[in-house]
Amino acid sequence: MSEKRLRQPRPAILFGEKSVKRVGYIDDYIFACEIEGEDHIIYSKPRRPKYHLVIIVTEGHMNLIINGERYRFEKNTYVNLPTWSDIYEIEYGSGFHAMVTATDRSVVEDIFRNRNPFPPDFKIRVDHGLGGYIMDKKDMDVLCRDISNMITSLSNKKHRFAQEINYAYFYILLTDMADMIWRRYGDMHEPQHQSEMKRSDTILKEFAELLAVNIKKETSVGFYAEKLCISKQYLSLIVREKMRVPISTVISSMRTEIAARMLRDPDKTIQQVAEEMAFSDQSSFGKFFKKHTGTSPLKYRQNLKKTLLTLRPKYVQDEFARKLD
């Protein structure tokens, strides 16, 4: 990697140049790195990643201000930063060390759409929660190994299939994370696990399943609480406890994800997407989408030519670009 390329990598911009020690990347939106040392970064304006970040804290602690709220992540936790996260401030304590991977949102969506063996509650935890799960050393070592492999792979600029390898490694990382969560919480549909699960974990799983079916049309907390036979307050409390974000953030984030996925279909017009998402008109949909993504539906579609197609064959890229023109 040339010295010129090392001056502007996205990890240094986000995490501080002195903290990033080992890095591999394809571009600003697909990278993996190690962070260590003590630092305190206050951004002049909020940073909203255009990529999906996973951070494994192996030593020390990390403080983040996200969407105006302060969060603290201790040693042996994994931090999940979806693309709705507005990051205001990052602080690393003494002796801090972490492994980090950032992957273009299209990779995450492609995995969940086309190669998805995961239960709904795992998807909602990854896509719309902040993580924060305490891991044992064995789990932590496995996830760190996955990211270390990504760093090595992404550092090889001469490899013709670097992006495909990144896709594969990120898929492995997700499956290892899913295995870790499954072993902790089990499958609610298997009798041997039902008695071991907390009621709150069961409710979160059922809430995730309801969201997957109804999110296009139903946006009120009351609808989901009624289906689960609990109060709105209790459902909101469980989501905040398990995902570390407000339930309104989960619902709006999931609706944004579904809308973005539909916009990726070149055969659908923006008006059709707005109607299927139950917006009163295209203007209302546009305001909602821009609020949660920072870009309009039309601009998002135009940007797809640059970001969506990196993992697809050339003939698919050409056909998709032709339909968007």
Which two tokens mark 213? Answer: 């079916």
Q: CA separation (Å) from 39 to 62, 97, 257, 266, 302?
A: 10, 11, 33, 44, 37
pLDDT category of residue 115 using cuts at 50, 70 and 90 = low
Which parts of the chain fold into alpha helices (H)? 3-6, 10-15, 105-114, 120-128, 137-154, 162-185, 191-194, 199-214, 221-228, 232-243, 247-263, 270-276, 282-293, 297-307, 314-324
Shortest CA distance to 186 belongs to which of 169, 163, 204? 204
Judged against a pLDDT cut of 80, whether residue 195 lies above it is answered with no
pLDDT category of residue 181 using cuts at 50, 70 and 90 = confident
Angle at 262 (CA atoms; ends 249, 215), nearest 5 degrees = 40
Judged against a pLDDT cut of 50, whether residue 192 lies above it is answered with no
Strand order in the sheet with 62-66: 39-47, 87-92, 62-66, 69-73
Mean pLDDT of all residues belonging to the chain: 79
pLDDT tens for residues 30-39? 788 899 888 8
Shortest CA distance to 32 belongs to which of 153, 127, 163, 176? 153
CB neighbour class for 161 (10 Å; exposed up to 12, middle 13-18, buried from 19):
exposed
What CATH architecture is 3-185? Sandwich (2.60)
- Could you give the CA distance from residue 177 to residue 121 in angstroms, rounded to a whole number? 13
The ranges assigned to domains in the chain are 3-185, 187-259, 264-325
Quick check: 92 and 37 in contact, CB under 8 A?
Answer: yes
The pLDDT assigned to 221 comes to: 95
Quick check: 35 and 98 in contact, CB under 8 A?
Answer: yes
- Global pTM reads 0.68
pLDDT category of residue 191 using cuts at 50, 70 and 90 = very low
